[in-house]
Amino acid sequence: MYKNPEPYWNFWKVVFAGWLIKYPGKFFRAIMWILIALTVGVIYMVDPPSGDTPVDNTVDREYNEIERMYGLE
């Protein structure tokens, strides 16, 4: 006849709220490290290292004066 309503807070909300109250430094430190890792990952994906050069170097060969001087082109 009377239906028991669902609780407002589920188990994981209670667990995370308890951790935040009891260990705020550890909680925010973990969040900070996650944000730093995501930021470094995004920067690495957007701007790859400068060592990645294309294999095709025909443009460089056209302007290489040493090869042109010695007739190696």
Token pair listed for 24: 């705020």
- Residue 63: what pLDDT? 57
- Residue 71: what pLDDT? 66
Give the domain ranges of the chain: 11-70
Q: One digit per residue, pLDDT tens: the chain, 73 residues?
A: 567 677 677 888 899 899 899 999 988 898 999 999 999 999 888 876 666 555 555 555 555 666 666 766 5
Give the list of residues 6+ apart from residue 67 with CB closer than 8 angstroms, or none: 61, 73
Report DSSP state, residue 55.
S
Please report the DSSP string for 5-43 in residue order: PPPSS-HHHHHHHHHHHH-HHHHHHHHHHHHHHHHHHHH
- d(CA 53, CA 43) in angstroms, rounded, equals 18
